[in-house]
Chains A and B, each alone.
Chain A
């Protein structure tokens, strides 16, 4: 049920254990394998509303396991164009597939150059190693 540890090379990472997949002027956001593993099986996802503006480095939602709750930090700024309803309905999707079906939101980027400040996979693996 739980995925095995992985950090795809094509993603950009934030040190608070969030990832971004940039697709043109949009990006898909989620939490990393390390984040879901630390929390344990997710039982709730509190998403932002479609149309909300989210800001880089600030929380845009919450994920919960039975005994822990965590803010989800936006790696990039933008307007929420889609919330992953599958994760709202079945939060454990994040545990099973954190980079695929377990994505959290899709946003339209406010400032695509913000991505330059995000971590590449090797730098992020270093963050994980030190956590």
Chain B
């Protein structure tokens, strides 16, 4: 199967117009020694029906969260994605457009991004949001780059209770940025502001996660204050769907708010594509990475939208650009906007309340069944850590044999937690589902 439109006659006419005898002659500038002398060794072409069957077979060899009752989270969550998100994303005019370089052709995407920026700023309490980053890890690296240039400092502090994926990506980017990364340990599941204060003294920024990787609510205002006291920029890594019930980072002194947008409107999709968001206070607007849409008027005085402050970007500022990003995650951010519009202010608050209430219910039921919470004194959001009385990976295996995936084995990332599972409970799980989880974990 192919998607080509030329007929044999078309080809002949076109070759004649070009003035060559064959298609092969079009490639005469390629030296013979670097011409590929054989056919590509790829499996034969498939028609649409055969292709569908092949991919259906591959998909059937995965165990998705509809087949298995899943309590997996750890950064990617099984929230409900309403049908309207799919419907909007399949509009070809939006789906098959590219970066809105030509605003007259792209008012739909531009206005949507402007609305997305507004929604992200509103949730995070920030002044400006970009049009998206790749995911929740790379926006953390972006924030480090902004902070380095804003402060002139060469150290970044990240809390140990921040998602390990985020920390690994920041550490991978750091040498190129000329940054040293320092981690602040958690104490009983949350970060101590005094530890942050000490580390922040010569740091460009302090990145902490709220709720943190363990699901625990950090003393976020105190952490931000500790960062600010040291002259470092406080960067909160937040979950958009928590911001109906949790305070906006802008309200407690953060300079930037970043995060993984997947939980708000994207499918799990084996980790992507999703969108990362990066929002900041006004003072950092000229250091922001990526696209930003601004409002203006046209020659007739009508309101319209354009890409703005483009001199920050690689296509103009080149080696001095604030980032190398060009292709971003606009389609996934659009999904986020549709989802947040569907939820509205009341829906997002109710969603947060439901996740918290189900989490509390699950903690109680597990405790009743004799399992021990890792951080029993902490308030959690959507996710919590529990000790399962044996190696957590074994517990996963035995629970899966009962049709339940009970969560993420924390020993992969944290010493001393080999017996601990990180359990996520979203609104897609019912109290009865939680009861099944308890049965599966409590079973021998």
Contact = CB atoms under 8 A, between A and B. Distances in A.
* A–B proximity contact (CB within 8 A): yes
A46 B316 CA distance: 16
A69 interface: yes
Interface string A47-74: 0000000000000000011111100000
Contacts of B311: 44, 64-69
A1 to B, nearest CB: 16
A46 B286 CA distance: 10
Interface in B391-433: none
A66 B306 CA distance: 11
Interface string B288-315: 0000000000000000000000110000
Contacts of B286: 44, 46
Interface of B is mostly: helix
Contacts of A69: 311, 316-317, 320
B307 to A, nearest CB: 10
Contacts of A68: 311, 316
Contacts of A67: 310-311, 316
A66 B294 CA distance: 12
Contacts of A46: 286
Residue from A44, A46, A65, A69 having most chain B Cβ neighbours under 10 A: A69
Nearest to B307: A66
Contacts of B320: 69
Interface in B304-343: 310-311, 316-317, 320
Contacts of A64: 311
Nearest to A65: B311
B299 to A, nearest CB: 15
Nearest to A43: B311
Nearest to B317: A69
Nearest to A46: B286
Interface in B48-80: none
Interface string B236-252: 00000000000000000
A69 B318 CA distance: 10
B394 to A, nearest CB: 58
9 contacts: A44-B286, A44-B311, A64-B311, A66-B311, A67-B310, A68-B311, A68-B316, A69-B316, A69-B320
Interface of B: 286, 310-311, 316-317, 320
Given A46-B286, A67-B311, 13 more contacts: A44-B286, A64-B311, A65-B311, A66-B310, A66-B311, A67-B310, A67-B316, A68-B311, A68-B316, A69-B311, A69-B316, A69-B317, A69-B320
| Closest 4 A/B residue pairs (Cβ) | A69-B311, A64-B311, A69-B317, A69-B316
